[in-house]
Structure 1
Amino acid sequence: MSGNDVYDLCVLGCGPAGFAGAMRALDFGKHVCIVEGAEIGGAGIMWGALASKTMWELAKDYAVAAKQDRGYQASGLTVDYCAVRRTVLQAAKEKQYQMLSQIETYSPRRWKGPGALTLKHGWGRFLSKTAVEIRSDDGKKEVIKARYFLIATGSRPRNFPHVLMDQCRVLNSDGILNLQRFPERMVIIGAGVIGCEYATIFSSFGQTKVYLVDRANRVIPYEDEDISTFVSDNLVRSGVQVIHSAQLREIIPRTEYQQVVLDFQDGHSEVIESDAVFISIGRTFERSGLGLEVLGLDTGSPGILKTDANCCVSDNIYAAGDLTHHPALVNIAEMEGRYAVKHMFGKNRWPLNYDNMSTVMFFYPAVAAIGLNEKGCRSRKIPYRAAYLSNVLCNRAIAMRATHGFVKILVTDDEQQRILGMRAAGPQVSSTIMSIAHFMDHGKGVLDVLKSVYPHPTITEGIEECLRMLLGKSIFKPHAFPDLLRLWRWHPETGVTVEERGDGNGQP
């Protein structure tokens, strides 16, 4: 395209949302300009999901190798943070170059089919609703025009305003790979998903004493209490010291260490000596520099960029990913990026559905979630039944010597027993969660799911047995294993949880 041509779509940001949206536009034969000032892949590749999960896999493997209860014992087991860092960067670069390779394959220089992808390195700023100025790091400027724009510039870690983030001794997820060795002591501020994941990672390597600090009285506070307790107990078992109801006051730098001052809700304070402080208090959208004011958008309220049900901000301007008001997850970002493009070009067939968005929390063991939890059902006043099965009774988990985990399924309290949500913990949950997700998307009930025969021995058999229990025809009965199998129901009229026996009242 020449400098006077108008692109069909300009995408600002080449993270998960921007890349997925650009590829969907290519499917429609559109000419796309992708503008990225930092790393291709964004936080989803270079500093977030892929990088942290690579580190989690390495930590998990190390923890398994260090076990002494499996009939073997590894001798002389050591780990070097610089080697771990190289492996993580290698994984991130591998995915990054896959993305770059595809962009180059469909560049106007190479691709002679319909549409094309043009990558421009720099930072985009709106001049109008149809034009963006791109500023490169060397000061050069270029103006491009487009019919539609997709803002997918992502988010950045939220910082304390009074804490100096040097990304060496005080750091966030963007700076975790700046470490040159495992710190002997690390304080993690924030017990949400990211904080708990990194507490899991560093404690699993066994080189770092980890302190996990949060203002709430339990970790992962938006989940049901049984999930929070499960995660917290496993962190403690891994050597993490979990500190509740505390707020960071200040970090005092010393020559060889740092003093972390915590203020507790009961009025007392505590000082912890630490070699590294990891800040994990959420993420925020950085709107400065985008020129949103020329679009007539509200630039005063921080945090998010408001969109409608079609990911549209205003007229021909769309947004997707972390900068919207939905959870900052890669799968949501990709879904929104693709949907926004489908809508702008009139290709969408059904509305977005956030209700059945599955998530995985990479703790040890991992926890997966989809749909409503009990807190969600109660806040919406939905009557439900719940079934719980411990992995102690799952043959595959027994064979793996990984029985620390469970399945919890919620269904409507009616004849259909539609599946409302599931929480699962243990091995392979990142994959097994989808065995329920597909049925939820189609509004299916317990009987529909049980028409399938599950392979043996697999972790999914735990799901099968949990569903059978809701019909009163499970192979193992709650009455025989009251600590491992549970059934209960809740109704908004009474607000009371009622335990059930579940040992023979089902259908033949």
Structure 2
Amino acid sequence: MKEYDLIVIGSGPAGYSSAMRALDYGLNICIVEGAHLGGAGIMNGALTSKTMYELSMDYAVAARTDRGYRSGSLSVDFSKVIKTVVHAAKEKQYQMLSQIETFSSEKSKKGSLTLERGWAKFLDPYTVSVENDNEKKQIKGKHFIIATGAKPRQAPGLEIDHERIINSDDILNLEKFPERMLIIGSGIIGCEFATIFSNFKQTEVHLLDRANRVLPYEDDDVSDFVAKNLEDNGVMVHHTAHLRTIKKHPNHLEVILDYDAGHSKVIEVDVALVAIGRVPNTDNLGLENIGIETTERGTISISDECVLKDGDNHCHIYAAGDITGHTQLYSVAEFQGRLTAEKIAATPTYLLDYSNMSTLMFFKPELASVGMNEKQLRAKNIPHKVAYYSNQLVNRAIAMRNTNGFVKIIVSDDDQPKILGMRAAGPQASAYIVSVAHLINQGNSLQEVLKIFYPHPSVSEGIQECLRTLSGKSIFKPEAFPDLINFKEWQPDKQ
């Protein structure tokens, strides 16, 4: 029976990054993966959905007729789109596999990587079985990292048949663009797929929004912006609607929606996509064999250093990524994975700060966020000031003929205002959000931040002018452009 310094269960962003960081310390590592190398971070997840998004955005730009040119015979082939998406995923998988082979036990003298294909199950605190279609074996480890990620959440009372009622894992298995699609769930995943399919203009898209607005956790102006753009892109958003039932017919699905106002509506679609979040992958891990119990949400509780909270007697077992119940972001999983390896190697580490995470939402236009929003600050009775600055006033956006977007920045309301959060939409929002994340982490005052020179013409000048608006120094004034620039203050005792 082979024994390794570290066994990593799962090869997604948490698992793979932890294995590579452990390699830096000369450990002999075994990565166990039962499905796709790279997990949902590569296949049926972040990379594939974003590749499809980029292709849809390219198509949408090519279809525009307001830029002085027109495409002669624009068409799209769904099978070729999917082929391109899968090729992108495999490109990354082979990069990962090439590195594993480079540091294989046969070649590497200090530290090694071994990939075992199969499903891992704990037999005891130091032994797992690995089973695939061809064989079943046992391996031992001195340390373990559970990084099995998450899977699409099931809708109560709705059976996924993976053909007409599908989840995000089934997108790549579709044979053609659905003529009509219902997307159940108006969070990030649902809105992203609504954007993708509406961009291609081949599908009538219905989006089921149980709340009064999409992205209900965001501030109202942000969620209203997203909803309006979806509707302008052709998506039919059903606000305050609840799914009663889906009846299957030979050639279509009959969907009955009940609205909060009391009326109902029946619509006909070809495919229903369930996009109501993801749940941790803990099935058949054998956690009962090591005395680990999951939470009510199915997650594994960890300490700040990613050690299992239930594992007082098993301090050699760690967990990282979506399975821990923290925000389901690629970057969070990756950081947690790296931290576990550093903890195993007994090197100095820093505790992860989850308060100012950057998030990208691939809509039309893309939306980026970092830090707190108004709803969160008001819930905590934190005084703050808010400025909203439209991209319609930003020279680079005007030159790009792409002014649909904004910068919204929130700062503390005190003598030395500090940035508390930002939301930005429009071209390149995903690129410059990290600069504001850095400013938040540094704790720089608004006065210090305003000393920075911004290149011209750049989309990031919208940040500069938004910050100037907060201090009453903007070049364009709210009084002249009340629809494009907005400033407001909030105090708990004045509401």
Instruction: Report the TM-score range of the alignment, normalised by the length of the smaller protein.
Output: over 0.9
1:127 and 2:142 aligned: no
Residue pairs, 1:411-422, within 5 angstroms: 411-422=411-422
Match of 2:279 in 1: 284
Match of 2:350 in 1: 350
SS in 1 for 2:53: helix
Residue pairs, 1:52-67, within 5 angstroms: 52-67=49-64
Counterpart Cα distance in 2 of 1:417 and 1:297 = 45
Residue pairs, 1:44-443, within 5 angstroms: 44-112=41-109, 114-138=110-134, 140-299=135-294, 301-313=296-308, 314=311, 315-443=315-443
Instruction: Please tell me the residue identity of whatever aligns with 1:115.
Output: G
Per-residue deviation, residues 434-488 of structure 1 (Å, max 9, x unmatched) = 1211111111122222222111111111101111222222111122212111111
Match of 1:499 in 2: none
How many residues align? The count is 490
Identity of aligned residues (%): 54
Q: CA offset at residue 392 of structure 1?
A: 0.5
SS in 1 for 2:493: coil
Q: CA offset at residue 296 of structure 1?
A: 1.1
**Contact kept? 1:339, 1:348, Cα under 8 Å:** no
Q: CA offset at residue 431 of structure 1?
A: 0.3
Q: CA offset at residue 300 of structure 1?
A: 7.1
1:11 and 2:14 aligned: no
Q: CA offset at residue 267 of structure 1?
A: 3.5
Instruction: Please tell me the residue identity of whatever aligns with 2:105.
Output: P
**Contact kept? 1:188, 1:213, Cα under 8 Å:** yes
Per-residue deviation, residues 331-380 of structure 1 (Å, max 9, x unmatched) = 11101111122123222432101111101000000100000000111112
Q: CA offset at residue 249 of structure 1?
A: 2.2
Q: CA offset at residue 326 of structure 1?
A: 1.2
Instruction: Please tell me the residue identity of whatever aligns with 1:135.
Output: E
Counterpart Cα distance in 2 of 1:472 and 1:69 = 36
1:21 and 2:1 aligned: no
Counterpart Cα distance in 2 of 1:348 and 1:181 = 52
Match of 1:473 in 2: 473
Instruction: Please tell me the residue identity of whatever aligns with 2:151.
Output: R
**Contact kept? 1:167, 1:176, Cα under 8 Å:** no
Instruction: Please tell me the residue identity of whatever aligns with 2:111.
Output: G
Match of 1:493 in 2: 493
**Contact kept? 2:409, 2:466, Cα under 8 Å:** yes
Match of 1:38 in 2: 35
Counterpart Cα distance in 2 of 1:194 and 1:146 = 36
Counterpart Cα distance in 1 of 2:295 and 2:61 = 49
Counterpart Cα distance in 2 of 1:380 and 1:149 = 38
What's the TM-score once normalised by structure 1's chain length? 0.94
Counterpart Cα distance in 2 of 1:373 and 1:300 = 28
SS in 1 for 2:73: coil
Counterpart Cα distance in 1 of 2:161 and 2:276 = 16
- Sort the Cα spacing of 1:300 and 1:411 in 2 relative to 1 into closer, same or farther, 3 A: closer
Gaps of 5+ in 2: none
**Contact kept? 2:33, 2:117, Cα under 8 Å:** yes
Counterpart Cα distance in 2 of 1:13 and 1:401 = 44
Counterpart Cα distance in 2 of 1:31 and 1:289 = 25
Q: CA offset at residue 71 of structure 1?
A: 0.8
SS in 2 for 1:261: strand
Per-residue deviation, residues 186-236 of structure 1 (Å, max 9, x unmatched) = 000000000000000000101111000021111000000011000000000
Q: Relative to structure 2, which stretch is displaced further, 309-318 or 45-54?
A: 309-318
**Contact kept? 2:167, 2:275, Cα under 8 Å:** yes
SS in 2 for 1:323: helix
SS in 2 for 1:249: strand
Q: Relative to structure 2, which stretch is displaced further, 347-356 or 14-23?
A: 347-356
Counterpart Cα distance in 2 of 1:246 and 1:480 = 39
Instruction: Please tell me the residue identity of whatever aligns with 1:214.
Output: D
Q: CA offset at residue 60 of structure 1?
A: 0.6
Q: CA offset at residue 161 of structure 1?
A: 4.0
Instruction: Please tell me the residue identity of whatever aligns with 1:295.
Output: I
**Contact kept? 2:208, 2:239, Cα under 8 Å:** yes
Counterpart Cα distance in 2 of 1:434 and 1:285 = 28
Q: CA offset at residue 399 of structure 1?
A: 0.4
**Contact kept? 1:31, 1:117, Cα under 8 Å:** yes
Counterpart Cα distance in 2 of 1:452 and 1:307 = 40
Q: CA offset at residue 307 of structure 1?
A: 1.1
SS in 1 for 2:454: coil
**Contact kept? 2:295, 2:301, Cα under 8 Å:** no
Match of 1:500 in 2: none
Counterpart Cα distance in 2 of 1:489 and 1:248 = 39
SS in 2 for 1:468: helix
Gaps of 5+ in 1: 496-508
Q: CA offset at residue 299 of structure 1?
A: 4.4
Q: CA offset at residue 302 of structure 1?
A: 4.0
Counterpart Cα distance in 1 of 2:447 and 2:346 = 38
SS in 1 for 2:468: helix
